[in-house]
């Protein structure tokens, strides 16, 4: 038979071993902490700041050390809702901002400010109103880089004690009132129409200038061509006259031949509708005399 006392003792030992095992597991679980990359953990020992855990494997003292929620050390991008801002000329504009910031000191971000994200938002809104409040609408619309720079300097200086570094502040949109938007749209449309008219006039001007230049060049080329043609014709006629003159002298012509050439030239003198009067050179009579002497052997002269 089984001894009840021994049986109860074995059960008690098993329960005790189980409790010890559970205790050991809990101790190990609470002692070992693995911090992911780009995160940091704040350890409090008996309620007081003890150390900051870096990424990797870390050992804590169970039931004495307490790990606070991890803090993201990466650069964060936060877009805040549009904020109404009054400009220097008393116009209400809606400005939408984006802030790029990064936690550089986990301890300061934990103990120096209760909610650093809300603090950055409120500080951005206040600084934005101060900066834009000193500008009129036109300056606010055209000075985004200046506004961004001033916001970044003020935010970075104010959030430095919180362990936060503001890298960049961007204005996503600046929306003026609806009435101002309509006026600006009309002004932009008028400006575009004016530029289009100027470009059209410039195009017509250039076209006329090019056409005039082309006509001038054409006239110059035509005149040069006519001049060259006249020179070539004159040179051709001079060469023809020289050739004929040389051929005549080379052939040693007599009076009958010259007279015959004069007779061949007479019909050409009558060409043209404007020829009303003939001018007969004195050499023609001598040529006729030479013809008569050539054909009649001087009989005409003798008969005379």
pLDDT at position 163, please? 92
Question: Which pairs count as long-range contacts for 79-82, CB under 8 Å and 24+ apart, including other chains?
Answer: 79/172, 80/121, 80/124, 80/125, 82/173, 82/175
Q: What are the CA-CA distances from residue 277 to residues 160, 266, 274, 280, 288 (Å)? A: 118, 13, 9, 10, 20
Residue 88 and residue 122 share a domain: yes
As a whole number, the mean pLDDT across the chain is 79
Question: What residue numbers bound the domain in which 216 lies?
Answer: 186-221
Residue 228 lies in a domain: no
Q: Are residues 85 and 164 in the same domain?
A: yes
Which residues, including other chains, have CB under 8 Å from residue 104's CB and lie 6 or more apart? Answer: 73, 163, 164, 165
206 located within any domain: yes
pTM as predicted: 0.53
In a domain, 12, yes or no: no
Per the domain annotation, does 213 fall within a domain? yes
Could you say which of 48, 71, 94 is where a domain stops? 71
Confidence label for 72 from pLDDT (cuts 50, 70 and 90): very high
* CATH code for the domain in which residue 124 is found: 3.30.479.30
93 and 122 both lie in a single domain: yes
CA angle, residues 104, 107, 113, in degrees to nearest 5? 90
Mean local confidence (pLDDT), 213-225: 86
| Chain segment 127-150, per-residue pLDDT in tens | 888 888 888 888 887 888 888 888
Taking the CB of residue 120, how many other CB atoms lie within 10 A of it?
A: 22
Residues 64 and 78 in one domain: no
Number of structural domains (the chain) is 4
| Judgement on whether residues 45 and 82 belong to the same structural domain of the protein | no
Three-class DSSP labels, 142-186: HCHHHHHHHHHHHHHHHHHHHCEEEEEEEEEEEECCHHHHHHHHH
Q: Which of 71, 86, 110 is the last residue of a domain?
A: 71
Q: Do 56 and 97 have their domain in common?
A: no
Taken in order 168, 172, 175, 181, the sign of the CA dihedral is positive
């Amino acid at each position: 038979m089984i001894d009840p006392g021994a049986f109860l003792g074995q059960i008690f030992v098993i329960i005790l071993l189980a409790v010890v095992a559970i205790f050991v597991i809990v101790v190990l679980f609470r002692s070992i902490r693995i911090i992911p990359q780009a995160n940091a953990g704040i350890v409090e020992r008996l309620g007081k700041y003890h150390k900051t855990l870096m990424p990797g494997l870390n050992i804590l003292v169970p039931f004495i050390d307490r790990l606070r929620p991890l803090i993201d050390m990466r650069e964060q991008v936060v877009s805040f809702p549009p904020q109404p801002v009054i400009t220097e000329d008393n116009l209400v504009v809606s400005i939408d901002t984006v802030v790029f910031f990064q936690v550089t000191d986990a301890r300061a971000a934990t103990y120096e400010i209760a909610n650093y994200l809300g603090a950055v938002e409120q500080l951005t809104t206040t600084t934005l109103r101060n900066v834009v409040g000193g500008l009129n609408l036109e300056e606010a619309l055209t000075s985004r880089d200046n506004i961004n720079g001033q916001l970044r300097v003020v935010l970075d200086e104010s959030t430095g004690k919180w362990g936060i570094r503001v890298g960049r502040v961007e204005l996503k949109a600046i929306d003026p009132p609806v009435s101002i938007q309509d006026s600006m749209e009309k002004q932009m449309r008028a400006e575009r129409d004016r530029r289009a008219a100027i470009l059209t006039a410039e195009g017509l001007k250039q076209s006329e200038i090019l056409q005039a230049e082309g006509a001038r060049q054409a006239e110059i080329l035509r005149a040069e061509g006519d001049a060259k043609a006249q020179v070539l014709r004159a040179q051709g006629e001079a060469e023809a006259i020289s050739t004929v003159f040389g051929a005549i002298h080379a052939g040693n012509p007599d009076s009958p031949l010259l007279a015959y050439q004069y007779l061949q030239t007479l019909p050409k003198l009558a060409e043209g509708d404007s020829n009303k009067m003939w001018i007969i050179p004195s050499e023609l009579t001598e040529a006729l005399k030479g013809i008569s002497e050539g054909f009649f052997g001087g009989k005409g002269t003798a008969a005379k």
